[in-house]
Structure 1
């Protein structure tokens, strides 16, 4: 099984030992961030810093100014956390260490965009905006995301890309000083709180014969039992029970078609810009109504569009099976190997075998830069066993 480790440019740049250290883990590939959201990251081995604060979503390379000239939305340059061509510098060092380099591109997850252009954000049934979540139904946002995918994915020397957050983002979001866990919304509540009511989505609902004002009221009514803690949650059947099966299906028809067409357009744009043989993968969840970094998709559809998927497996490898059953493409199991972030580096070999038994044919390790020395030692031993 091919194994790739996720890496940030700031894990490598300025540390002459970083690229060789990653190669010595036993991985064949790195998935290197080229466009990324805001974060605060530990760098436990870097000779010059221990904490990197990426203050806003940004590209980690110099943009093509001609591509973005005159467009209403565009990418943001990084600050001192990734100056200049940080991606290119790190990619060169990693390639010199014998590693294949693929880009890691975060798309519909951008708090800076939401702050500067509030109308681009998902707006829930109560009128609250989610600045981290660009609404993918809006034409200008879709154009921006497709252009960003094509530019960030195809950095010089890259052999492939992994596109993250290429779909709907919703309520669930790691946030500074978060205080949203007081009510257990479950899958049903997460969906209902992620249904967007911006003008473009309202037009989309109208095409499904839904009155937007009536739908907005229905979503708020459906959420009331959850706020009081009275509703059991069994996923989509609960959404249908709370909202009505016909209405629920109509919201999904708009949202699913919107996400599918964006994914098709972004993958096509990447392939047009990329050299022959360039691999395009999506971070994906096989439950189509799920929101977030791992976009909810229909497995058969997405594997007819992209070359494969990267599937979250930290809580178990069960999500691999629906993709593997399609019998095509890359199905990469993404395993967290940072013990302090809920990962299990000590059981990596066992977890990898379990994922392989369910049909995974590649592995992704999150994250070579964030893990402790002890975590990385366990990773090295596990990969030797595999």
Structure 2
């Protein structure tokens, strides 16, 4: 099975030993961040650094000034790594070690963009903005994501791209100093708190918009007081019980249509910019109403559009019935033991393997991957 590992440019730039070390694990490729959200990351083997703090979303290549001139929504440049093109430097080094490089592009998740342009973000039923979550029902956001996808995905030396957050983002977010877990919400509560009521979404819901907003707030009140969600095995059945079938359908219809528009625009933009044979994969969850970095998608429809999906490994069985000849279902498996990962033994049904994350991994983690990919 072909295996790739996720990497940040700083895992490679300034470390001449990194490409050969990674290739020696038995990996076929690397999924390298080209446009990525804020983070704080460990680099346990780098000769010059141990902690990298990326304070905001940034492009790790030089954005084209002509493409973004005069636009409020645009990728920011990074200033915490040396050089104008750390992505290009890392991609060249990895390709030189025989690894195929896919660009890793985060789209509808950008806290800096949201703070500077709150009108473009998800607004919940209480009127509160989520700065980390651009609203994909807004045409300005779709245009930004499509242009970012085209520019960040098709970089010199890449053979494909993997688009993260190409869909709805919602309440769930690894926020700094997070304190929202005092009342734990189940999947239905998460869905209700992720519904957007910005002007574009209210238009999308049609005449039921205000009734939907009121129903969301009413349904959430018992949950805030500690009541359990409806005792039903299926997530969507719980949502229908809380909202009523008609209003739940109103929400789902609008959100699926918006997700399709974004995904169609992003894939088309990359296709137009890419050479023949360039692969386009989307990070996804095969349960369509979910949101997050692996947003819920209509798997069958999307596999007619893109070349494949990168899925959390435990969700592969839900996507498998929709695979097509020539498409890829890649299992995304955490490999870092200290972050809850381990040797990826349970990836039956996957066409390819993605390991998260080689740059964060200890030497012990890497040894386990080497043993897995190079069995004697």
User: TM-score normalised by the shorter chain: which range applies?
Assistant: over 0.9
- The corresponding residue for 1:228 is 225
| Contact persistence 2:188–2:229 (CA under 8 A) | no
Matches within 5 A, 1:207-218: 209-210=207-208, 212-218=209-215
Residue 83 (structure 1) shift: 4.2
| Contact persistence 2:169–2:292 (CA under 8 A) | yes
Residue 139 (structure 1) shift: 1.1
Q: SS of the counterpart of 1:188?
A: helix
- The corresponding residue for 1:264 is 264
- The corresponding residue for 2:334 is 336
- The corresponding residue for 2:239 is 239
- The corresponding residue for 2:203 is 203
Greater than 6 Å deviation, 4+ residue runs: none
Whole-Å separation in 1 of the counterparts to 2:60 and 2:323:
35
Whole-Å separation in 2 of the counterparts to 1:230 and 1:283:
33
| Contact persistence 1:72–1:140 (CA under 8 A) | no
Q: Deviations over 1:73-94 (max 9, x none)?
A: 1111012236410100000000
- The corresponding residue for 2:307 is 307
Matches within 5 A, 1:174-213: 174-206=174-206, 209-210=207-208, 212-213=209-210
1:322 maps onto 2:312 in alignment: no
| Contact persistence 2:303–2:323 (CA under 8 A) | no
Whole-Å separation in 2 of the counterparts to 1:201 and 1:52:
37
Whole-Å separation in 1 of the counterparts to 2:82 and 2:241:
48
- The corresponding residue for 2:31 is 31
Q: Deviations over 1:306-357 (max 9, x none)?
A: 10000012xxx2x112322123210000100011111113xx2x22xxx22x
- The corresponding residue for 2:9 is 9
Identify unmatched segments of 5+ residues in structure 2: none
Q: SS of the counterpart of 2:355?
A: strand
- The corresponding residue for 2:352 is 362
Q: SS of the counterpart of 1:385?
A: coil
Q: Which moved more, 1:215-224 or 1:3-12?
A: 215-224
Q: SS of the counterpart of 1:294?
A: coil
Q: CA RMSD in A?
A: 1.2
Count the aligned residue pairs. 371
Residue 385 (structure 1) shift: 2.7
Q: Which moved more, 1:225-234 or 1:42-51?
A: 225-234
| Contact persistence 1:9–1:82 (CA under 8 A) | no
Identify unmatched segments of 5+ residues in structure 1: none
Q: SS of the counterpart of 1:92?
A: helix
Residue 53 (structure 1) shift: 0.3
- The corresponding residue for 1:286 is 286
Q: SS of the counterpart of 1:247?
A: helix
